[in-house]
Amino acid sequence: MSVVITFGSSVIMYVIVYMILTLGLNLQYGFTGIVNFTYYTFVAVGAYIAGVTALGRPQPGTGELYILGANLPFPIPILLAGLAAGALGGALALVVFRRLRSDYLAIVTLAAGTVALDVATNSNSIFGGSNGIFGIPTPLAGVLGVPLQNSYMVMIPIGLVVLAICWWISHSIRNSPYGRILRSIRDNPDVAEAFGHRVLRHQLVMMLVGCFMAGVGGALTIEFVSAMSPSGWQAVETFIVWAAVIVGGSGNNLGAALGALIMQGVIIQGTLFLPSFGNQELVPAIRALAIGLLVILVLYFRPQGLIPEKRRFYDHLLPGRRGEARPEAIPTPPEGG
């Protein structure tokens, strides 16, 4: 029974974290059209910052090496994690958007993610190198007297509160006049600029907010599993978050949350029960295949996602696809005249 409770609580916690991540990516891509192909890098930044600001300095002789080493109380590590990830995302976007078109951000983020992974892996004095950091204490567990094996009793309520805050932020942006400005930038940034909207500033704000949520999600992850290493920070993790947004429906918070539930709660956790037949690479390969097939099927049969963005009453006048007019929206001239 305890095994079932432990596994079930882990699934719930991971789904909560992925919902937070998809909300952040949905703000960037679904609302603003920002293509961030290294989103999980900001998750890792948040995890590492939360870890080194909550764990304290390593004991001499343990062989652990990393920067900072503070022992700050909850919720300061989580806030610092979000701020660090948001600052990095904003700085990266500022460099790109001031010099290049926003299309190049996808390439730059890929390069930045690769560099960051190499630095974290090969520099032992920053975040412990390839070993990473471990032994992160569960917040409030000591105060509440919760044993380590029951850390989910603390982390799930904290995760739900954080998810509710992120949901409220995303929902408020989506239904505000500012959200309409973001969607105009997503659909046609040149037209939005012509109407007086400062595209660069709005894109920077969404990079900051989206990466902040990524950092907070990373902080919750490391405080739940109590460890982080570069082996859990690969390009496939970003692909899974992207797949969740695409499958669920970009531009829609419910769609992003549904995608997170499907990817993390059904596919990733469900494939853990598959037999490996002595091949440790079989289950990850099946998992990747299942995610890829699901994305292909959704893009083919329902490209707007399972829960698409809510249509507005004037959508029939807008292009069917960006830059392409719908035939029914074009007046047909009368015959003979």
* pLDDT of 332 over the 60 cut: no
Domain membership flag for residue 320: no
Predicted confidence (pLDDT) per residue in 110-144, tens digit? 888 888 888 888 877 777 778 888 888 888 766 66
Predicted confidence (pLDDT) per residue in 268-320, tens digit? 988 888 887 778 788 888 999 999 999 999 999 998 889 988 765 445 555 54
Domain membership flag for residue 57: yes
- Confidence category of residue 325, pLDDT binned at 50, 70, 90: very low
Rounded distance, CA 118 to CA 76, Å? Answer: 28
Domain membership flag for residue 247: no
Neighbour count for residue 324 (Cβ, 10 Å): 8
Within a 13 Å sphere around the CA of 63, how many CA atoms are in the beta-carbon half? 5
pLDDT for the residue numbered 113: 84
Domain membership flag for residue 257: no
Q: Which residue has the higher pLDDT, 41 or 60?
A: 41
pLDDT > 90 in the chain, percent: 33
Residue 36 contacts residue 121 (beta carbons within 8 Å): no
What Cα–Cα distance (Å) separates residue 13 from each residue in 3, 19, 36, 105, 276?
A: 15, 10, 24, 31, 25
Average pLDDT over residues 88-114: 79
Domain membership flag for residue 137: yes
Average pLDDT over residues 184-205: 86
Average pLDDT over residues 202-215: 93
Average pLDDT over residues 201-221: 93
Nearest to 43 by CA among 216, 244, 227: 216
- DSSP state, 309? P
**What three-state secondary structure class fits 67?**
coil
pTM score above 0.85:
yes
Predicted confidence (pLDDT) per residue in 148-157, tens digit? 666 778 889 9
> Is residue 236 within a helix (H) or strand (E), and if so which, with residue range?
helix 235-248
Instruction: Read off the amino acid at residue 328.
Output: E
Domain that holds residue 198: 12-233
- Confidence category of residue 87, pLDDT binned at 50, 70, 90: very high
- Confidence category of residue 46, pLDDT binned at 50, 70, 90: very high
Place of tokens 């698409």: 308
3-state helix, strand, coil in the chain (%, to 5): 70, 0, 30
What Cα–Cα distance (Å) separates residue 308 from each residue in 124, 138, 202, 262, 282?
A: 45, 37, 23, 16, 33
Mean pLDDT of the chain: 83
Average pLDDT over residues 100-108: 73
Q: Which residue has the higher pLDDT, 55 or 56?
A: 55
Rounded distance, CA 22 to CA 43, Å? Answer: 12
Rounded distance, CA 110 to CA 104, Å? Answer: 10
Domain membership flag for residue 1: no
Domain membership flag for residue 126: yes
- Confidence category of residue 66, pLDDT binned at 50, 70, 90: low
Residue 203 contacts residue 27 (beta carbons within 8 Å): no
Rounded distance, CA 199 to CA 213, Å? Answer: 21
Q: Count of domains in the chain? A: 1
- Confidence category of residue 64, pLDDT binned at 50, 70, 90: low
Most confident among 169-178, 186-195, 272-281 (mean pLDDT)? 169-178
pLDDT for the residue numbered 243: 94
Rounded distance, CA 223 to CA 165, Å? Answer: 19
pLDDT for the residue numbered 234: 80
Domain membership flag for residue 239: no
* pLDDT of 80 over the 90 cut: yes
* pLDDT of 330 over the 50 cut: no
- Confidence category of residue 322, pLDDT binned at 50, 70, 90: very low
Average pLDDT over residues 73-86: 92
Residue 114: phi and psi, rounded to 5, are: -65, -45
- Confidence category of residue 159, pLDDT binned at 50, 70, 90: very high
